[in-house]
């Protein structure tokens, strides 16, 4: 993953790890206070400031509905800095004992559906002993996210926001409609991925592994078809990019299936060419082949079970 993205001839950190004092000062010198992918905040809203609280929820939804972004807490607004003061004076930070994740956590939860977030740990240390907190809200596949507010002529209104270089803006009707359509399309693709994992597991268990008691078959038949899973994985990668354990399990499944397919092709060539006229060879080769395929298929089944469980978690949390 790239650590920086370009915007208006400057570099904006694209990962939590890339955010540091130098990066923040560089953006402040450039005259930024908010952009499409980040927003400077002095503090978490006071519990009595309903407007600020609603604004923060709105920003959480906007980042999740768009390309994701970062909230940098502990940076004073430029309007509150006296003329001639050094740019560093905007970095006020928080006392190290202040638990910002605890104070911030309720805001993403008030989005509907709730928004996933992460934070830089440890926070950025300032020379005065305070710290700058950086919160990341990634792009969500579970869009569109909305928040509730008082509406004119009704008790509550649901608002959908997006993030642009102007800040938080309302989504149009067409943007909301397309977001819902894309959501259901992604759900269907995840269901297709699940079905294909079930199919691979079933094929390994019932067609390729030969049990001792199975007198009806002498050897497993049929290669794994990987076209569907390759296509679906490409279509759903933006959804699963943060699911490292799930992607690792799917990678092991794909690699295992390719090894089995290679073994089957070698076996088929040997069976049709190498055993001609030798009636004793097949029995020995069948046993050896079945043992090799068994050893390759067992890990595939284990990884299919693991991937299915992890995929269910992703689908259930949406």
pLDDT in tens, 34-45: 789 999 999 999
User: Of 163-172, 204-213, 236-245, 287-296, which has the strongest mean pLDDT?
Assistant: 163-172
Q: Are 29 and 87 in contact (CB under 8 A)?
A: yes
| pLDDT over 80 (residue 85) | no
Using the 3D structure, point to which of 171, 201, 231 is the last residue of a domain.
Answer: 171
- pLDDT tens, residue by residue, 218-277: 666 788 999 989 998 888 887 787 789 999 999 999 999 999 999 988 888 776 665 545
Q: How far apart are CA 119 and CA 94, in angstroms?
A: 15
Q: Are residues 134 and 264 in the same domain?
A: no
Q: Are residues 254 and 167 in the same domain?
A: no
Mean pLDDT within 140-155: 78
Using the 3D structure, point to which of 171, 194, 229 is the last residue of a domain.
Answer: 171
Q: Are 120 and 73 in contact (CB under 8 A)?
A: no
CA-based radius of gyration for the chain: 27
**pTM here?**
0.66
| pLDDT over 50 (residue 193) | yes
Give the containing element (helix H, strand E) for 151: strand 146-151
CATH of residue 161's domain is: 3.30.950
Q: Are residues 50 and 196 in the same domain?
A: no
Q: Are residues 309 and 262 in the same domain?
A: yes
Range of the domain at 205: 178-317
Q: Are residues 164 and 222 in the same domain?
A: no
Residues 6+ apart with CB under 8 A from 29: 87
Q: How far apart are CA 146 and CA 76, in angstroms?
A: 28
Q: Are 61 and 69 in contact (CB under 8 A)?
A: no
Q: Taking all residues of the chain, what is their mean pLDDT, rounded to a whole number?
A: 85
Q: Are 165 and 71 in contact (CB under 8 A)?
A: no
Using the 3D structure, point to which of 129, 147, 171 is the last residue of a domain.
Answer: 171
Torsion region of 132: left, alpha or beta (phi above 0 gives left; psi -120 to 50 gives alpha): beta
Find, among 83, 70, 56, the residue nearest to 124 by Cα: 70
When divided into structural domains, the chain yields a total of: 2
Q: Are residues 297 and 164 in the same domain?
A: no
Q: Are residues 91 and 183 in the same domain?
A: no
Q: Which residue has the higher pLDDT, 318 or 132?
A: 132
Q: How far is CA 12 from the centre of its chain?
A: 20
Q: How far apart are CA 45 and CA 60, in angstroms?
A: 14
pLDDT of residue 9: 44
């Amino acid at each position: 993953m790239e650590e920086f993205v370009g915007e208006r001839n400057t570099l904006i950190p694209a990962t939590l790890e890339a955010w540091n004092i130098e990066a923040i000062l560089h953006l402040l010198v450039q005259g930024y206070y908010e952009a499409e992918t980040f927003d400077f905040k002095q503090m978490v809203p006071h519990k009595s400031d309903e407007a600020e609280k609603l604004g923060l929820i709105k920003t959480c939804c906007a980042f999740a509905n768009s390309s994701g972004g970062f909230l940098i807490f502990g940076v004073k607004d430029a309007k509150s800095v006296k003329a001639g003061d050094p740019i560093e004076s905007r970095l006020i930070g928080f006392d190290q004992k202040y638990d910002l994740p605890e104070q911030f956590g309720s805001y993403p939860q008030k989005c509907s559906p709730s928004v996933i977030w992460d934070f830089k740990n440890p926070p950025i240390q300032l020379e005065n002993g305070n710290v700058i907190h950086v919160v990341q809200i990634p792009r969500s596949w579970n869009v569109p996210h909305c928040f509730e507010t008082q509406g004119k002529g009704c008790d509550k209104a649901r608002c959908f926001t997006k993030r642009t270089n102007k800040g938080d803006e309302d989504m149009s009707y067409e943007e909301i409609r397309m977001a819902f359509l894309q959501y259901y399309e992604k759900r269907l693709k995840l269901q297709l991925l699940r079905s294909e994992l079930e199919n691979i597991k079933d094929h390994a268990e019932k067609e390729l592994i030969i049990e001792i008691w199975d007198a009806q078959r002498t050897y497993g038949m049929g290669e794994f078809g990987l076209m569907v899973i390759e296509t679906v994985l490409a279509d759903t990668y933006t959804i699963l990019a943060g699911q490292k354990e799930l992607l690792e399990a799917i990678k092991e499944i794909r690699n295992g299936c390719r090894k089995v397919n290679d073994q089957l092709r070698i076996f088929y060539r040997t069976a049709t060419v190498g055993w001609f006229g030798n009636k004793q060879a097949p029995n020995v080769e069948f046993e050896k082949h079945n043992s090799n395929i068994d050893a390759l298929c067992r890990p595939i089944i284990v990884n299919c079970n693991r991937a299915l469980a992890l995929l269910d978690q992703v689908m259930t949390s949406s």
